[in-house]
Amino acid sequence: MPTPASAPQSSPVLHSRPVAYAVRADFFRPSPVRAVFDISMREGMISLAGGNPDLGVLPLDELGAVAGRLIAEHGLEVLQYGTGAGLEPLREAVCEVMSTAGIRAVPGDILITSGSQMGLELVTSLLCDPGDVVLVEAPTYVGAIGTFQGLEADIVHVACDDDGLIPAELERTIAEVRAQGRTIKLLYTIPNFNNPSGITLHPDRRPVVAELCRNAGIALVEDDPYGLLDFWDTPLQAIRSFDESVIYLGSMSKIFSPGIRIGWVLAPRDVRDRLQLAAEATTICPSVLSQHLANIYLREFDWRGYMNRAIDRYHERAQRLDAALAAHLPESVRWTRPHGGFFVWLTLPEGLSAEALLPRGIEEGVVFVPGTAFFGDGSGDGNLRLSFSLESPDRIEEGVRRLARVVTAALEI
């Protein structure tokens, strides 16, 4: 109902009393990616910042008809509470999705969550006490940093190269952290087309990393929202495909829609059961309507066909971004060349600060995310993340021209 013009926009404050926050309230910080979201929406701005999938390939009319039918014909079920574990047919369907990555699993091993972000939150709260150490790639997903910091875990980065986590560095870091008397609870890795670096963990390194974690008694959490978005169509074998102790996080966000908020956790049965208890204490159950829609999408739609169309777009945009960077940026700038996912990681020439460049980029009409967002320790200011998932190739090229003007000007100062 529209608000009458004379009605107050918010209720008057009758009593104001200070809220006694928990200590941990200070650990929840605004996401640097969301901070540039509003700026991205400004007229004329080119955003190489966000990590939104291209939903333009989706059959919206057909999906709308399915959603309508679900409510009209099965409303009493799909608008009701559901089970904590999630719909059994959807759990079956995600087992099928994971089989592409070589994973063998049964529905009883799966917990459906409201996005994989929730899965990560549950796993962290189940495994980590305040002060426990979480090992992560350098750099890593900004949302994971937020979760770990919010739950008072200490983040320690492990060095990576163009083939991902360096096993010798992982081994060294484990020994170093332990020598300080600290407890390491988990290694969090995004082995495929890492957000933000675009780097993929080399297949030869995967068993080595898994073995190092197993031997050290550290849980390995494999977060894999981008694995299917491979431009070369060479399905990457998940670490979980050869190590059943791995806790694997999956998501519908990049293969269908982030708005339906459906993800899943595949974990050893005892871990999965405890995760379900934690999930029920958080959300009672994932959205039943969303689960039905996701289930029908995976079973009755040519979802791989739509995904492949999106991948073609991502591929074209990634190529255009790479070519534009080569054409317009000074030679001293380096960047990654991913064959999938959404992101390129750029390394600035010595002495330049990505945080200092951002306001100048905004003035020029281009937004990106400074590298500091992807480190828990404030480092990364010599890097920035560029996303190629949503802007058109021409706008990507123009965005890079604008970025190049900013970088070149900064080098001349």
Whether the CB-CB separation of 33 and 50 falls below 8 Å is answered with: yes
Binding to ligand PLP in span 158-217, by CB under 6 A = 190, 195
By CB under 6 A, which span of 58-66, 113-121, 169-177, 398-406 interacts with ligand PLP?
113-121
Tell me the one-letter amino acid at 225: P
Q: Of residues 262-301, which lie at the interface with ligand PLP (CB under 6 A)?
A: 263
Interstrand relation of 219-223 and 343-347 (parallel, antiparallel or unpaired): unpaired
CB 266 within 8 A of CB 92: no
Residue 21: CB minimum distance to ligand PLP, A: 26
Q: Quote the least distance from Cβ 318 to ligand PLP, whole Å.
A: 16
Among 251, 276, 291, 295, binds ligand PLP (CB under 6 A): 251
Q: Whose structure tokens read 């031997």? A: 215
* Residues 310-349, mask of contacts with ligand PLP (x by CB under 6 A): ----------------------------------------
CA distance 308 to 313: 9
CB of 195 to ligand PLP, least distance (A): 4
Shortest spacing between CB 156 and ligand PLP, in angstroms: 18
Closest chain position to ligand PLP (CB): 115
Least spacing, CB of residue 115 vs ligand PLP, in Å: 3
| By the rule CB under 6 A, 143 interacts with ligand PLP | yes
Pick 262 or 404: Cβ nearer ligand PLP:
262
* 133-137 sheet: strands from edge to edge: 110-113, 263-266, 247-251, 219-223, 184-189, 133-137, 154-158
Restricting to residues 12-71, name those near ligand PLP by CB under 6 A: 51
Per CB under 6 A, does 388 bind ligand PLP?
Answer: no
- Given 3-state DSSP classes, what are the helix, strand and coil percentages for the chain, each rounded to the nearest 5? 45, 15, 40
Which residues are paired to 251 by β-bridges? 263
Q: How far apart are CA 193 and CA 177, in angstroms?
A: 27
CA distance 49 to 182: 35
Task: Give the residues lining the site for ligand PLP (CB under 6 A).
Answer: 51, 115-117, 141, 143, 190, 195, 223, 225, 251, 253, 258, 263
